[in-house]
Amino acid sequence: MKQGFVYILFSKRNGTLYIGVTANLTKRVYEHKNKFVKGFSQKYSVDKLGYYEICDSIMSAIEREKELKKLSRKKKLDLIEINNPNWNDLYYDII
């Protein structure tokens, strides 16, 4: 079974957030960065990888995405703050 990823993108520190799921994290973030993904992330320039989790399967990643989307904004920001306190764009760490 193929692993999956759930991720949080941000526009700037404490800015707009986007939560997504993918089977190929580097490719997907690249698509966001280059505005290949039409919609919310393109409209609000949400293209910096702030947080991600590796899941055993794409189905478990989808379930985790649903859980993260139900969290309050504060808890989403806390996930980034705890794991990435400098709000670095983690894309450059994974490529």
Report pTM. 0.96
Q: What is the pLDDT of residues 37-50, one digit of tens each?
A: 889 999 999 999 99
Work out the percent of the chain whose per-residue pLDDT is above 70: 100
What ranges make up the beta strands (E) of the chain? 4-10, 17-22, 48-55
Give me the mean pLDDT over the 73-78 stretch.
98
Q: Does the pLDDT of residue 33 top 90, yes or no?
A: yes
Nearest to 93 by CA among 7, 2, 1: 7
Q: Does the pLDDT of residue 1 top 80, yes or no?
A: no
Give me the mean pLDDT over the 18-37 stretch.
96
- Which CATH fold would you assign to the domain 4-94? GIY-YIG endonuclease (3.40.1440)
Give me the mean pLDDT over the 85-93 stretch.
97
